[in-house]
Amino acid sequence: MFATNATQDRTIMETKLRKAQETELCRLIGNVQLSLLYKASYHGKQAAAFHQKCDRKGPTLTVGYSKGHIFGGYTSKDFDQTGQYVHDDKAFLFSFKRGQIVKYPVQDGSSALVQNGHDGPSFGKSLVFLPSGQLSIQSNSGYSYNFDAAEMHGNHLQLTECEVFQVEEGRTLEKPWRNIIWEAERKKELIESIKQYKPIISSVSQIKVLLIGPIGAGKSSFFNSINSIFRGHVTNQALSGSSSTSLTTRFRTYSVKAGREGKPLPIILCDTMGLEEATGAGIDVDDVISILKGHMPNRHQFHPSVPLQTVDKSAQLQDQIHCVAYVIDGCKVSIMSAKMEAKLSAIRWKINRLGIPQLVLMTKVDEACPDVADDLRNIYVSQYIRTKAQEVSVRLGVPLSCVLPVKNYSEELELDLSTDILLLTALVQMLRSTDSYFDDISELDVHD
């Protein structure tokens, strides 16, 4: 059965694979990236749910989890429901044995797949996932693949989870799609330009940037990361972490200081409750509007089912929001639900009417791309990251130039130059966007 709506809406769809396991699987296949298409506990264990998410998606990797075992199969061919037997000399099964991958290639001349609409992923007749809508497997070594069942899955036929990933080529571009200078001197220049920035409207001393995004995307972590750069060491002032519900339950405004005893920077980052798909969960769209118009007091406790009452009186420009930054997890762009996309679209439409500039912070780029994980400076030569940025641009309706890939500090104890340069570049883009917004306001005042 599918999970209840309330449970499904609050479940964060994340793989159970550890990063090291994912990296090993990518290397086993080649220079590829994995995008999670289907998760049984999220989408449902029925074959129909699997086929809806995974049919005709090209190369895929299926991973099953049973008691103490992780195993699965790869195919370069499409899944479908035609009933045909499909040959694929690139297909293989695998399992992790004491942390190492064991590979079981398809036998010569054997059918690698059965395109069966009644079951889930069917690797010949040797390994069938989700048979007849059960969270289990059918295992028969020797048909298309030879393997030791005890070694592969310990003869545990019941699964605790089943995941299917789309496998995409991880090409490196010949030329970077953006030019970034990865030098200490550039970091100093960025820091100094931020410190010296002054809004062009004299009544505003600090610009206010609102961070909006789904739970776990990294809104609070972005502030912590910016704060860390100017403090000179990694800090965690704003509550952040991994949870199925928003760790931020209040509206918070954070002013960043240039050093422990330094002056406040000319930018305030405003953190909000995370967006959730379900009605009555996460931040309410009306509360977003109240924040934009400057009616939401700092530390306001969010009540999703009871948004703040509308205030007719206009707030001063200095109290309003001057720029909006959507925070989107780069690992989850392709699996963003229709409900979440619709909610973001409703918010974006309202912001457009107010004329406030909008940017996108695409976070967790190191987790999305192994090449970037190896060296963050590969970010703008990664075809995969560029593709994800283009997808974000289309889904959120913002120009590609407004999509800014970043990496927040999460597990590090010391600052990293490349991480800092990406974060500071994003901050500078917020200042520039706000300048354009203030220019428009000034022109309206002149014409009025």
What's the CA gap between 20 and 27, in Å, rounded? 11
Give the per-residue pLDDT at 170.
66
CA dist 144 → 66, 74, 104, 156, 162 (Å) = 22, 13, 10, 20, 21
Q: What is the per-residue pLDDT across 281-336, written as a single tens digit (0 to 9) for each?
A: 667 777 788 888 876 666 555 455 444 555 455 678 888 999 999 999 998 888 88
On the question of pLDDT at 251 being above 80, the answer is no
Q: What is the mean pLDDT of the chain?
A: 86
Q: Which of residues 237 and 367 earns the better pLDDT score?
A: 367
Q: pLDDT category, 448, cuts 50, 70, 90?
A: very low
Q: Give the tens place of pLDDT for each residue, 167-192.
A: 987 667 878 999 999 999 999 999 99
**C-alpha distance from residue 316 to each of 124, 204, 292, 324, 446 (Å):** 67, 9, 12, 18, 18
- pTM of the full predicted structure? 0.66
Q: How many Cβ atoms are within 10 Å of 97's Cβ, its own excluded?
A: 14
Q: How many helices (H) and strands (E) does the chain have?
A: 13, 17
- 103 contacts 28 by C-beta, under 8 angstroms: yes
Least confident of 238-252, 348-362, 377-391, 393-407: 238-252
State which H helix or E strand residue 24 sits in: helix 19-29
Query: What is the mean predicted confidence (pLDDT) over 228-239?
Result: 84
pLDDT at 161 over 80: yes
Integer Cα distance of 155 and 157 in angstroms = 6
Encoding tokens for residue 271? Answer: 């953190």
Domains and CATH numbers, the chain: 5-169 (no CATH), 184-447 (3.40.50.300)
pLDDT-derived band at 9, boundaries 50, 70, 90: very low
Per-residue pLDDT tens for 115-143? 988 999 999 989 999 998 899 999 999 88
Q: Are 48 and 56 in contact (CB under 8 A)?
A: no
Distance CA 373, CA 82 (A): 39
Q: What are the residue ranges of helices labelled H in 125-182?
A: 149-153
